[in-house]
């Protein structure tokens, strides 16, 4: 880079008067210290620190902490109310469950009683119907036995006549002659006895 000699000389003079890192003019050995690190300002700094701390403490004690305490108190009361309400609702739910279980047990007992009554009624009805059917069957059986007896008697009456005819036919076939009806009837009667 090309620099003019006049500019270089003025830049050299300015560099001697200014500290290059901070851009502040250097005053040599008597330069003032940074104020917080200056030991001559410590008492005033401590005084202002104590005043500021005290005001901040009073502000916290009188304004902020009571508000925070009030908020915590409200929340604690709300939580206590919610817990009481939850306990009350749990107790009501337990009572409702107990009542439900008791009603359920009573309903089961009633259902068992009704079922037993229905079974007993059905059994009694079935027994009555069975007895009725048995009486009908006994009557039909007695009637059938009478009819069978009548048919047997009729058949037995006819058996004698059939036996006489059969004996006559057999004798006729075997002997080749006719058998007298009275002789056939006597022979059949002799066999019956």
Q: Are 125 and 117 in contact (CB under 8 A)?
A: no
Other beta carbons less than 10 A from residue 147's beta carbon: 10
CA distance 60 to 53: 10
Express each pLDDT in 94-132 by its tens digit: 999 999 999 999 999 999 999 999 999 999 999 999 999
Length of the chain: 193
Cβ–Cβ under 8 Å, residues 178 and 172: yes
E-strand ranges in the chain read: none
What distances in angstroms separate CA 99 from CA 49, 104, 179, one per listed residue? Answer: 71, 8, 104
pTM of the model: 0.38
What tens digit of pLDDT does each residue of 60-79 get?
999 999 999 999 999 999 99
Give every CB contact of residue 3 below 8 A, 6+ residues apart in sequence: 11
């Amino acid at each position: 880079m090309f620099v003019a000699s006049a500019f270089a000389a003025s830049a050299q003079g300015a560099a001697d008067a200014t500290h290059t890192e901070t851009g502040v003019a250097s005053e040599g050995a008597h330069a003032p210290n940074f104020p917080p690190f200056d030991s001559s300002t410590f008492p005033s700094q401590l005084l202002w620190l104590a005043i500021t701390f005290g005001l901040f403490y009073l502000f916290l004690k009188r304004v902020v902490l009571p508000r925070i305490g009030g908020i915590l108190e409200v929340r604690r009361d709300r939580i206590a109310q919610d817990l009481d309400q939850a306990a009350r609702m749990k107790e009501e739910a337990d009572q409702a469950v107990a009542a439900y279980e008791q009603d359920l047990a009573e309903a089961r007992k009633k259902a068992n009683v009704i079922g037993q009554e229905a079974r007993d009624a059905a059994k009694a009805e079935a027994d009555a119907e069975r007895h009725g059917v048995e009486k009908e069957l006994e009557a039909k059986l007695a009637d059938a036995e009478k009819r069978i007896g009548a048919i047997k008697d009729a058949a037995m009456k006819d058996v004698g006549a059939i036996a006489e005819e059969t004996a006559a036919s057999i004798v006729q076939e075997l002997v080749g002659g006719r058998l007298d009806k009275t002789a056939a009837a006597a022979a059949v009667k002799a066999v019956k006895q």
